[in-house]
């Protein structure tokens, strides 16, 4: 028997428009599931049930997702709802103003059930903060959901919401999408506004959707995309919705592929490589040309990326006194101190070099339409396997070995998606990543939809479903 959470987000939206269900029914259904399953998943850190019920009673907007439940990552300010940024420093912070992306989600008629779990300031690729239990994959609750959008991915994978908003500065949408067996899309730099705070000064991070299907992700991207007045940079506006791109055939594409890790020397799990090879054969069977290439980004880029990444953390820790610093987790303190030690000229030089590295990488990839790699180097790891409070430097290196491909596309500003094409012998999800040039979301979504139709995954659900 089909239950409400078996429906995709777009199916729920259609049922709402035809009067087959109400937003109130959906909200109550998902709140019940979230309250029952969240203790074992660590997906939500704050519920906003009263606000959700109020919004469901007076749904605004007429888009394809109007009235559909969702959730907001705890890194994005939400007016009137506690927003902790995964940190004890901000455990009681309730913003007066929402981020632009939250306002767009509300204007699209979606109904947020609350805030999803994230690590402190969104830094690591696992979700194990000091303010909440760890976020875990619903496929095996002893294993991590990934990060930093781990709570969002766990919520979608476990059927606590049909889709959720995440953000990605080095893989933070695609990593948890792979760990949790769902779709995670990183949009092009500037596709989604960073107003009103514009705190992401490097251009590495962007907001994006996590969903069970490519079409749901595309529809949610349509809701969030677009510039705000005052944005310092933005992607060109699209003439048609991204959802419409899912109904186009991509044509015959040139697909570059490589599986050599980019940012770290590490071995790759054989089951991950098998999923990558299966994806290559699938693309060939769909008529695409698949070409092996060398890694297009030099290993020297890693140090430059790390300088910029540390500065981002340093912006969060600068000016804190000793008592406030004592509330931070060891990794945050270590990264923040690295960032605070970078001078203004050093940061400027690093940012300029990052742009030049991006340009050279994109030039090398110009002959190809898309790029195929694994998403992660291994299956979802046990909770705590990467975290090392005694040695944050070792923690950071372990993260790089776990996710050696994702950050490349943050450097270039490209769009990239993790698709849940693989599954291990033990039943754990394995993501495969496709990336396209900056601004090429329509092409990427068209191809991803073709792949999903050829090798569907929607009926593959975790034990808690």
Nearest residue to 297 via CA among 360, 383, 203, 253: 360
Structural domain containing residue 273:
8-454
Confidence of residue 87 (pLDDT cuts 50, 70, 90): very high
Q: How many domains does the chain have?
A: 1
Determine, yes or no, domain membership for 462. Answer: no
Determine, yes or no, domain membership for 207. Answer: yes
CA atoms within 13 A on the CB side of 181: 24
Confidence of residue 281 (pLDDT cuts 50, 70, 90): very high
Structure token digits, residue 420: 């849940």
List pLDDT tens digits, range 102-124. Answer: 999 999 999 999 999 999 999 99
Would you say residue 60 has pLDDT above 90?
no
Determine, yes or no, domain membership for 307. Answer: yes
List pLDDT tens digits, range 342-364. Answer: 999 999 999 999 999 999 999 99
Q: Count H helices, E strands: the chain?
A: 16, 11
CATH of the domain at 434: 3.90.1300.10
pLDDT given for residue 31 in this prediction: 98
178, 420 contact by CB (below 8 A):
yes
pTM greater than 0.95: yes
Residues 74, 420: Cα–Cα separation, whole Å: 24
List pLDDT tens digits, range 318-336. Answer: 999 999 999 999 999 999 9
Higher-pLDDT residue of 175 and 239 is 175
> Cα dihedral angle (166, 357, 238, 289), rounded to 10 degrees?
-100
Q: Which residue has the tokens 């004592």?
A: 326
pLDDT given for residue 62 in this prediction: 87
Q: Where are the beta strands (DSSP E) in 326-436?
A: 370-374, 415-423, 429-436
Nearest residue to 280 via CA among 261, 262, 255: 255
End-to-end CA distance of the chain, in Å? 13
Confidence of residue 458 (pLDDT cuts 50, 70, 90): very high
- Residue 85 Cα distances to 55, 74, 145, 151, angstroms: 24, 5, 17, 12
407, 305 contact by CB (below 8 A):
yes
Determine, yes or no, domain membership for 463. Answer: no
Name the catalytic one among 73, 115, 186, 400: 73
pLDDT given for residue 174 in this prediction: 99
List pLDDT tens digits, range 131-171. Answer: 999 999 999 999 999 999 999 999 999 999 999 999 999 99
Question: Which residues share a beta bridge with 72?
Answer: 115
Residues 236, 421: Cα–Cα separation, whole Å: 30
pLDDT given for residue 1 in this prediction: 76
Percent of the chain with pLDDT over 90: 98
356, 334 contact by CB (below 8 A):
no
Determine, yes or no, domain membership for 169. Answer: yes
pLDDT given for residue 287 in this prediction: 98
Determine, yes or no, domain membership for 160. Answer: yes
> Cα dihedral angle (12, 18, 23, 29), rounded to 10 degrees?
-50
Residues 454, 177: Cα–Cα separation, whole Å: 20
Name the catalytic one among 23, 48, 87, 148: 148
The whole-number average pLDDT for the span 241-263 is 98
Residues 397, 378: Cα–Cα separation, whole Å: 15
List pLDDT tens digits, range 193-217. Answer: 999 999 999 999 999 999 999 999 9
320, 168 contact by CB (below 8 A):
no
Residues 157, 174: Cα–Cα separation, whole Å: 13
Determine, yes or no, domain membership for 313. Answer: yes
The whole-number average pLDDT for the span 77-100 is 98
- Catalytic residue check, 73: yes
- Residue 170 Cα distances to 34, 296, 332, 406, 424, angstroms: 28, 17, 16, 6, 25
Name the catalytic one among 48, 123, 149, 172: 172
Residues 309, 339: Cα–Cα separation, whole Å: 8
Backbone angles phi, psi at 436, to 5 degrees: -135, 170
Averaged confidence pLDDT in the chain: 97
- Residue 182 Cα distances to 5, 404, 421, angstroms: 15, 20, 9
Would you say residue 61 has pLDDT above 90?
no
Determine, yes or no, domain membership for 143. Answer: yes
Residues 385, 126: Cα–Cα separation, whole Å: 9
């Amino acid at each position: 028997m089909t239950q409400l959470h078996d429906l995709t987000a777009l199916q729920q939206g259609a049922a709402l428009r035809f009067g087959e269900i109400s937003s109130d029914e959906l909200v109550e259904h998902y709140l019940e599931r979230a309250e029952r399953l969240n203790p074992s998943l660590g997906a939500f850190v704050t519920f906003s049930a009263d606000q959700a019920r109020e919004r469901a009673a007076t749904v605004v907007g007429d888009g394809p997702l109007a009235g559909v439940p969702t959730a907001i990552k705890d890194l994005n300010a939400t007016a009137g709802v506690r927003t902790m940024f995964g940190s004890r420093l901000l455990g009681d912070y309730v913003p007066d103003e929402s981020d632009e992306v939250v306002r767009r989600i509300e204007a699209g008629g979606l109904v947020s059930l609350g805030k999803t779990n994230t690590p402190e300031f969104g830094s690591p690729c696992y979700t194990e903060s000091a303010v909440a239990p760890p976020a875990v994959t619903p496929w095996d609750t002893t294993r991590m959901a990934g990060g930093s959008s781990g709570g969002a991915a766990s919520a979608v994978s476990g059927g606590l919401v049909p889709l959720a908003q995440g953000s990605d500065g080095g893989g933070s949408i695609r990593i948890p999408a792979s760990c949790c067996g769902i779709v995670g899309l990183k949009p092009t730099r500037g596709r989604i506004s960073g107003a009103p705070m514009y705190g992401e000064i490097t251009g590495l991070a962007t907001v994006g959707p996590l969903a069970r299907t490519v079409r749901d992700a595309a529809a949610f991207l349509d809701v969030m995309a677009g510039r705000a007045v005052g944005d310092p940079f933005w992607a060109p506006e699209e003439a048609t919705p991204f959802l419409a791109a899912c109904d186009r055939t991509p044509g015959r594409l040139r697909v570059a592929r490589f599986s050599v890790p980019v940012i770290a020397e590490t071995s790759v799990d054989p089951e991950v490589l098998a999923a990558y090879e299966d994806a290559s054969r699938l693309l060939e069977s769909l008529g695409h040309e698949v070409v092996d290439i060398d890694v297009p980004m030099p290993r020297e880029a890693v140090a430059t990326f790390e300088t910029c990444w540390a500065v981002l953390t340093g912006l969060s820790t600068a000016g804190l006194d000793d008592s406030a610093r004592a509330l931070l987790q060891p990794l945050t303190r270590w990264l923040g101190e690295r960032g605070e030690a970078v001078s203004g000229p050093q940061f400027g030089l690093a940012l300029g070099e990052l742009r030049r590295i991006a340009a050279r990488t994109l030039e090398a990839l110009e002959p190809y339409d898309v790029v195929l790699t694994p998403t992660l180097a291994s299956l979802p790891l046990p909770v705590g396997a990467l975290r090392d409070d005694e040695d944050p430097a070792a923690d950071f290196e372990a993260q790089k070995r776990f996710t050696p491909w994702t950050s490349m596309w943050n450097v270039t500003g490209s769009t990239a998606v993790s698709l849940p094409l693989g599954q291990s012998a033990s039943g754990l999800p394995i993501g495969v990543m496709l990336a396209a040039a900056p601004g090429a979301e329509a092409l990427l979504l068209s191809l991803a939809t073709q792949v999903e139709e050829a090798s569907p995954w929607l009926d593959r659900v975790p034990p808690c479903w």
